[in-house]
A and B are shown apart, each in its own frame.
Chain A
Amino acid sequence: MTSQASIFAVAIPSVAPLRCHRYLPVVRAQAEPSDKSVEVMRKFSEQYARKSGTYFCVDKGVTSVVIKGLADHKDTLGAPLCPCRHYDDKPAEAAQGFWNCPCVPMRERKECHCMLFLTPDNDFAGKEQSITLDEIKETTANM
């Protein structure tokens, strides 16, 4: 009943990011990302949307949560690892880079299942390529 993908793309580990892995506790309370990282990822998201010709979700709450997720990974891992995947080993994934935003599927095929960058033909694409810090705070307050 299930179909199996048959093509394997073996991602070559990049040489550069050999950073020291901090051993994070497995269970971590969901802390707020730093304002600085949220701002960095907010600006990155705006710029990359314009550059790639993609748009934010019509529900900016989705955009806001993802931007905060990227900021959280930037704080804890040193890289904006995609927050919409599950990883056995987050530090290793962040160092490897395939799923660091903008991930390889986004760069190659404009595929962002996190719904941060949506092509205009997507049913959930809004018309905006900008989001303010206030919007992010407003839509994610008390989460």
Chain B
Amino acid sequence: MASSTSFSLTISCALLPKPFFSSPSSSHFRIPQKPLIHFQNPPPFPKIRSHPHQTTATPITKDLWENTILKSETPVLVEFYASWCGPCRMVHRIIDEIVAEYAGKLKCFILNTDTDMQIAEDYEIKVVPVVLLFKNGQKYDSVIGTMPKEFYVAAIERVLKS
């Protein structure tokens, strides 16, 4: 059977500022020309550990999406990830820190795009990791790719102040 009808549209970001670690096909984002902060080695990302992943952000699924995300009274952060995405695990660690630092002000969730394909498609997720920020049931901002923690914090502060 001819599977050759499957075209893939890929948006090049040749005209866009060079992202830190984001995909060239991300179509909606605000990313600095250069990383906002240059780090000394070792980087500020906690290393991936060999013990089971113990995120403190709550896993979210399609069934709970409406009530938990869209009807939330506090702003919500959702990290979209894939099972075998290395950089996603770095972002997990940052989100874990953010969970603790913004307790009571921001709810944090993670969504596996391999198992919740419908939500991923609804939000046109092409590249992982992606962090979406929601307020009053609306998507407010997105951070695409692997960014320094400060970048996520700045986006969260904008949501909280809006």
Residues of A whose CB lies within 8 Å of any CB of B are 1-11, 13-15, 18-21, 26-28, 30, 57-59, 61-66, 68-70, 72-73, 83-86, 88-89, 91-93, 95-96, 98-99, 104-105, 109, 111, 113-116, 123-124, 138-143
**Is the pair B128, A86 in contact by a Cβ cutoff of 8 Å?**
yes
A15, A91, A96 — most chain B CB neighbours (10 Å): A96
What's the least CB distance linking A40 to chain B, in Å?
A: 15
1/0 per residue, CB under 8 A from A, across B25-68: the answer is: 01111100001001101110101111111000000000000000
Residues of B whose CB lies within 8 Å of any CB of A are 1-16, 19, 21-24, 26-30, 35, 38-39, 41-43, 45, 47-53, 80, 82-90, 113-115, 117, 120-121, 125-128, 141, 145-146
Q: Which 9 A-B pairs have the closest CB atoms?
A: A69-B84, A61-B48, A62-B86, A65-B86, A92-B6, A83-B84, A66-B86, A5-B11, A86-B113
> Given A2-B29, A139-B50, A143-B53, do A18 and B4 touch, yes or no (CB 8 Å)?
yes
> Which chain A residues lie closer than 8 Å to B121 at the CB level?
88
Distance in angstroms between the alpha carbons of A73 and B82 in the assembled complex: 12
B3, B12, B88, B121 — most chain A CB neighbours (10 Å): B3
> Which chain B residues lie closer than 8 Å to A13 at the CB level?
4-8
What's the least CB distance linking B112 to chain A, in Å?
A: 9
Distance in angstroms between the alpha carbons of A56 and B146 in the assembled complex: 16
List 11 interface pairs A-B (beta carbons < 8 Å), by A numbering: A5-B11, A8-B9, A9-B11, A13-B5, A58-B42, A61-B89, A69-B82, A86-B113, A95-B3, A113-B87, A115-B146
**Is the pair A86, B84 in contact by a Cβ cutoff of 8 Å?**
no
**Is the pair B51, A142 in contact by a Cβ cutoff of 8 Å?**
yes
> Given A11-B7, A11-B8, A86-B128, do A68 and B84 touch, yes or no (CB 8 Å)?
yes
B8, B19, B146 — most chain A CB neighbours (10 Å): B8
Complex partner residue of A66 from B3, B49, B84, CB under 8 angstroms: B84
Distance in angstroms between the alpha carbons of A92 and B2 in the assembled complex: 11
> Which chain B residues lie closer than 8 Å to A6 at the CB level?
15
B53 to A, closest residue via Cβ: A143
**Is the pair A62, B24 in contact by a Cβ cutoff of 8 Å?**
no
Distance in angstroms between the alpha carbons of A140 and B48 in the assembled complex: 8
Distance in angstroms between the alpha carbons of A1 and B23 in the assembled complex: 19
**Is the pair B127, A113 in contact by a Cβ cutoff of 8 Å?**
yes
Distance in angstroms between the alpha carbons of A89 and B19 in the assembled complex: 26
What's the least CB distance linking B127 to chain A, in Å?
A: 5
**Is the pair B117, A123 in contact by a Cβ cutoff of 8 Å?**
no
